[in-house]
C-alpha cells in the first residue's frame, strides 16, 4: 500500500471536501495536515452558519466516501416552489437539509470529529498565499471552495455572483425542515430559504450582474405577504464560482489536486454543491494513490456538466426572462400539471444530471 510508509499530504481547506479527503488518506496510512484560512473548521464565516436543502442519498454517499454522514442530514418536511406568488409543492423524496457551521448539529462538526479520530493535524489561520504556490509539495490538495483569491492565484476562470443574505434563529416548529424557492425576473437565479436545527438561511442571488435593491424589495414583499415571514437584517455579499464555461470541472491544475467546489464539482443549473464536495473529497484522496482511477471517477461524476451548462445558458436563462408568462400558464394548467412539466423539462435538459454524487437526479 502506497500510504503504509506514512508519507505526508498537505490539504488547504477544512471544509467538506478537504476533511473527507483527509479522513480517507489517513485511513490509508498517510500523515495529513489541513491548513485553513479561518480560525476554526466550519467553512467561511462570510456564509456560515448556514442551512442548505439538497438532493442526496445519505446511505449511498456514506458508502462511497467511507464516512457515515447520515446523522447530519434531515429529511425535508416540505419544499415550495414559487413563480412570483404561484405556489407548487415539490416532492421532498430524497431531499435533505444540512447545516454548515462549527455547531454540533452540522456536517462540518461530524467530519471534524472523524478527522480527530484518525489523527489529522489542523493548522488554522493558515491561508494559501501566492508565494506558496510554486513550493507546494506534489499531491497537495486544494479545497478552497469559493475563495476568489485562490482562483486568481491558480488562474482558474470563474463566474461572478452577488447576493443579499440573511440568517438567524426561529422558534416556529411548523417551519422545521421547510424550504422555499422563489423565481422572479428581477434575478437570474433564485431566492431560497431553508429552516433546520433552529436556524434559517435566506439567500437572494444572481449571476454575472448585481442583485439590485429593487429585487430585494420584491423578495421581502413576497416573503411578508405570502409566507408571513419578515427579515430586516440583510447583508450584501459577492463571490465567484467555477462555472465560466462548460469545460470547467478539473481534477488537476498546475500539478495540484483540486477538490470540492473549486474543482467544478457543482451542479451548473441550480448550484447544488454539498454532494459534489463530499464525493470529490473521496476522489481527491484517490488521486493521491491511484491517479488514473481518480480521473475516471472524476469524469464519471462530472460527465454531463457541459451539457447542463449549455442548457442553462441557451434554454433556462432565456426562459427565466418570461416569468410573468410562465406564471400565467401555470395558473391555467394548475400546480400539479405545471410542476410535472417543469420537472420533465429539467430532466430532459439535464439528461443524467451533472450533480456529482448520489441522488434521484444525479449520476451513480
| pLDDT tens column, 204-227 | 999 988 999 999 999 999 999 999
Range list of H helices, 302-359 = 305-311, 317-320, 323-333, 335-350
Cα–chain-centroid distance for residue 284?
A: 17
Q: Are 185 and 321 in contact (CB under 8 A)?
A: yes
**Domain-wise residue ranges, the chain:** 2-307
Q: Are strands 73-75 and 31-36 parallel, antiparallel or unpaired?
A: unpaired
Which architecture, in CATH terms, is 2-307? 3-Layer(bba) Sandwich (3.50)
Q: Which of 242, 247, 252 is nearest to 286 (CA)?
A: 252
Q: How confident is the model at residue 361 (pLDDT cuts 50, 70, 90)?
A: low
pLDDT at 42: 86
> Across all residues in the chain, what is the average pLDDT?
90
Q: Which residues contact 116 (CB under 8 A, 6 or more apart)?
A: none
pLDDT at 18: 97
Q: How confident is the model at residue 2 (pLDDT cuts 50, 70, 90)?
A: very low
Within 24-131, strands assigned E span 31-36, 50-55, 73-75, 78-83, 86-90, 95-100, 121-124
pLDDT at 352: 54
pLDDT at 50: 96
Lowest mean pLDDT of 227-241, 248-262, 343-357, name the range: 343-357
Q: How far apart are CA 117 and CA 122, in angstroms?
A: 13
Could you read off the pLDDT of 140-173 as tens digits, one per residue? Answer: 999 999 899 999 999 999 999 999 999 999 999 9
Q: Are strands 178-183 and 159-169 parallel, antiparallel or unpaired?
A: unpaired
pLDDT at 355: 58
Q: Which of 321, 152, 161, 295 is nearest to 236 (CA)?
A: 161
Could you read off the pLDDT of 315-331 as tens digits, one per residue? Answer: 888 888 888 887 787 78
Range list of H helices, the chain = 16-27, 58-65, 107-117, 148-154, 213-222, 274-289, 291-301, 305-311, 317-320, 323-333, 335-350
Give the dihedral of Cα atoms 224, 230, 236, 238; nearest 10 deg: -70
Amino acid at each position: 500500500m502506497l500510504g503504509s510508509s506514512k508519507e505526508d499530504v498537505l490539504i488547504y481547506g477544512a471544509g467538506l471536501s478537504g476533511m473527507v479527503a483527509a479522513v480517507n488518506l489517513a485511513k490509508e496510512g498517510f500523515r495529513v495536515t489541513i491548513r485553513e484560512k479561518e480560525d476554526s473548521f466550519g467553512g467561511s464565516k462570510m456564509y456560515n452558519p448556514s442551512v442548505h436543502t439538497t438532493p442526496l442519498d445519505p446511505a449511498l454517499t456514506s458508502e462511497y466516501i467511507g464516512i457515515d454522514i447520515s446523522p447530519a442530514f434531515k429529511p425535508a418536511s416540505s419544499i415550495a416552489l414559487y413563480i412570483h406568488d404561484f405556489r407548487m409543492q415539490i416532492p421532498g423524496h430524497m431531499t435533505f437539509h444540512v447545516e454548515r457551521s462549527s455547531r454540533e448539529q452540522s456536517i462540518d462538526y461530524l467530519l471534524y470529529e472523524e478527522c480527530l479520530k484518525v489523527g489529522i493535524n489542523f493548522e488554522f489561520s493558515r491561508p494559501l498565499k501566492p508565494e506558496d504556490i510554486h513550493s507546494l509539495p506534489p499531491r497537495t490538495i486544494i479545497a478552497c471552495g469559493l475563495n476568489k483569491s485562490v482562483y486568481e492565484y491558480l488562474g482558474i476562470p470563474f463566474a461572478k455572483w452577488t447576493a443579499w443574505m440573511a440568517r438567524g434563529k426561529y422558534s416556529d416548529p411548523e417551519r422545521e425542515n421547510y424550504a422555499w424557492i422563489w423565481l422572479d425576473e428581477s434575478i437570474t437565479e433564485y431566492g431560497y430559504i431553508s429552516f433546520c436545527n433552529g436556524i434559517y438561511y435566506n439567500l437572494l442571488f444572481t449571476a454575472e450582474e448585481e442583485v439590485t435593491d429593487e429585487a430585494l424589495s420584491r423578495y421581502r414583499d413576497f416573503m411578508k405577504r405570502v409566507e408571513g415571514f419578515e427579515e430586516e437584517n440583510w447583508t450584501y455579499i459577492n463571490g465567484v464560482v467555477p462555472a465560466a464555461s462548460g469545460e470547467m470541472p478539473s481534477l488537476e491544475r498546475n500539478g495540484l489536486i483540486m477538490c470540492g467546489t473549486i474543482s467544478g464539482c457543482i451542479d451548473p443549473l441550480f448550484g447544488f454543491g454539498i454532494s459534489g464536495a463530499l464525493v470529490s473529497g473521496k476522489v481527491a484522496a484517490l488521486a493521491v494513490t491511484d491517479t488514473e482511477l481518480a480521473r475516471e471517477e472524476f469524469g464519471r461524476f462530472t460527465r454531463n456538466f457541459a451539457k447542463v451548462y449549455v442548457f442553462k445558458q441557451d434554454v433556462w436563462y432565456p426562459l427565466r426572462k418570461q416569468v410573468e408568462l410562465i406564471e400565467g400558464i401555470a395558473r391555467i394548467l394548475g400546480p400539479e400539471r405545471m410542476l410535472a412539466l417543469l420537472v420533465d423539462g429539467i430532466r430532459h435538459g439535464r439528461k443524467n444530471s451533472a450533480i456529482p454524487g448520489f441522488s434521484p437526479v444525479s449520476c451513480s
